[in-house]
Amino acid sequence: MNTPKIKRRVGKYEVGRTIGEGTFAKVKFARNSEIGEPVALKILDKDKVLKHKMAEQIKREVATMKLIKHPNVVRLYEVMGSKTKIYIVLEFVTGGELFDKIVNHGRMQEDEARKYFQQLINAVDYCHSRGVYHRDLKPENLLLDASGNLKVSDFGLSALSQQVQADGLLHTACGTPNYVAPEVLQDHGYDGATADLWSCGVILFVLLAGYLPFDDSNVINLYKKISCADYTCPPWLSFSVRKLITRILDPNPMTRITISEILEDEWFKKNYRPPVFNEKEDTNLDDVEAVFKDSEEHHVTEKTEEQPVAMNAFELISMSKGLNLGNLFDEEFKRETRFTSKCPANEIISKIEQAAKPLGFDVRKKNYKMRLENVKAGRKGNLNVATEVFQVAPSLHMVEVRKAKGDTLEFHKFYKNLSTSLEDVVWKTEDDMQAK
C-alpha cells in the first residue's frame, strides 16, 4: 500500500479525499495549510460552465453568497481559478446530515422539528431577501454543525444546473422529484422563492412524519400526487402544524403561504429565537472578479507532490465522530460510510469486488479506488458507489464506501449486503468481540 500517490495542493489548500460529487462539480475535503482549518473545496470545470453559458450567473451568485454570513447557511470563504477549474472554498460542517437523524432515530417530536424548521426558514428568508434561491432544498442539503445547528449547503450554487430565461423565470425542472414544487414539474416557468417554500413544507412533513408526503415508484404517479397535493398527514400531528403544512403544500404558487405569513404563524412562533449575527463584517469581492476575468496573473498555483498514501491524524479525526476506530464500521444512514481493516489493501479490494458482483454491480478499478455501478436502474437512475482504501498505519487501512450517484436508501440497502459479506475483513476490537 506504500505505492506513491499524487498529493495535490491548490494555492494554500492541501486537497484530500472526495466528499461529494454532482453533474457540474466535485467537492473535496481540504485544509488551509496556513491556519490548519478544514474546508470543503467545490471544484467546477470551466469548460462545462462556459458551454452551458453559466459564467455570469455563477459569478453573480458566488459574489452574493460571499456576502452572506448567516449562522444557518454554509459560508463561502473565497473563490480561486486556474486555467481549467474554478475552486469555491466553503465552510466544512462536521455534524452530518439532518437526514441521518431521521433515519437513525425516527421522526421528531414537534418541538425539535420546529427548532430546525425555524432555522431553515431563517436561512431561506435571508437568502431570498438578497435575491438568492436554492431550488434544490432537501434533507441531504441540510447539515448540522458541531453544536447541532442547521446549516443549509449549496445555497445559490444549485443554480449551476438551471437558468433564468428572458421572462425572468426559471425553466429547468431539476432537483429530487419528491421535494420539487408542482409548478417546477409543469415547466411553465416558476418563481424561485415560492418553489423553495414548497420544498421547506416537504422537509417539515418528513421531520414530523418520518416519511415522504409524496412517494411513488412510478414517476408519472408521483408527479400526479405532487400536482394535486395528494398526501395524508399522520394522526399524531397537532391541528396547528397540520394547518401550517396544508398552507405550505398548496399546489397553487399564487395562493401558497409566504415567508412573512409563516413568521406570524402560531405554531411557528413558539419558542422562536431570531438569528444573531454580524452583517457588518467587511467582504472583499476581488477574488470573484479575478476568477471570472480569467487573467493568467490571478491563476492559483496547482502543485502535485508524490508521497505514500497515508492519512494524517487531522483527516482521520475530521471523518470520525470519536476515536474508537473499531466503531467506524457502523449502521448509520449516510451517503458515505467507512470501516477499518488489518487486511492488506489488495485483499480488501478483491473482497469488495467479490461481494459487489453477485449484487449486480459492474466493477472498475484504478489503484486503490473502485467504482461500482449497478447494472439495473433504481429510483434515481443507476446506483454508483465509490470506494477508496487509505493507509492509517503500516498494518491498518481505512476503507471509505460512498454513494456517488443514485438513491440514498438504495445505497444503504447495498451497504448492508456488502457489510455482511465483508465481516471477516473488518477489524474488530476486543470491545466489539465482547459485545457479541
Per-residue model confidence as pLDDT tens digits over 52-79: 777 777 777 788 788 888 999 998 898 8
Place of cell 427548532: 115
Per the annotation, binding residues for ATP are: 42
Q: Which three cell numbers stand for residue 327?
A: 466503531
What whole-number distance in Å separates Cα of residue 260 and Cα of residue 330?
42
Residue 269 has a pLDDT of: 95
pLDDT value for 201 = 97
What whole-number distance in Å separates Cα of residue 155 and Cα of residue 135? 8
pLDDT (0 to 100) of residue 280: 60
How many other β-carbons are positioned within 10 Å of the β-carbon of residue 308?
11
Q: Please, what is the average pLDDT of the chain?
A: 79
* Contact (CB, 8 A) for 247 and 256: yes
Rounded mean pLDDT, 129-133: 83
Q: Among 121-130, 358-367, 379-388, 410-419, which range has the highest average pLDDT?
A: 121-130
The answer to whether residue 7 scores a pLDDT higher than 80 is: no
Residue 136 designated active-site: yes
Annotated binding residues, as ranges? 42
Alpha-carbon span 200 to 179, nearest angstrom: 8
Q: Are 109 and 256 in contact (CB under 8 A)?
A: no
The larger pLDDT score, comparing residue 328 to residue 117, is at 117
First to last CA, the chain: 31
Q: What is the DSSP letter of 139?
A: G
**What pLDDT is stored for residue 298 in this prediction?**
65
pLDDT for the residue numbered 258? 95
With contact defined as beta carbons under 8 Å apart, do 42 and 87 qualify? yes
Q: 13 near 30, Cβ under 8 Å?
A: yes
CA distance 38 to 412: 27
The pLDDT value given to residue 330: 37
Set of cell numbers at residue 128: 431570498
CB 77 within 8 A of CB 91: yes
Domains defined for the chain, CATH in brackets? 4-92 (3.30.200.20), 98-269 (1.10.510.10), 310-435 (3.30.310.80)
Find the mean pLDDT for residues 406-411: 76
pLDDT band at 265 (very low <50, low <70, confident <90, very high): very high
Whole-angstrom Cα distance, residue 324 to residue 284? 42
DSSP strands (E only) in 359-429: 361-366, 369-378, 381-393, 396-405
- Spot the catalytic one: 100, 125, 136, 250: 136
Maximum CA pair distance of the chain?
Answer: 66
- 397 in helix, strand or coil? strand
Which positions ≥6 away from 74 have C-beta within 8 Å?
40, 90, 91, 93, 143, 151, 152, 153, 154, 155
Q: Which three cell numbers stand for residue 64?
A: 452574493
Arithmetic mean of pLDDT, 258-278:
91
| Predicted pLDDT of residue 169 | 43
What pLDDT score was predicted for residue 10?
87
Helix (H, G, I), strand (E, B) or coil at 288: helix
Over its C-alpha atoms, the chain yields an Rg (Å, rounded) of 22
Share of the chain above pLDDT 70, in %: 78
| Mean pLDDT of all residues in 127-133 | 85
Tell the residue number behind the cell numbers 408527479, with chain if given: 223
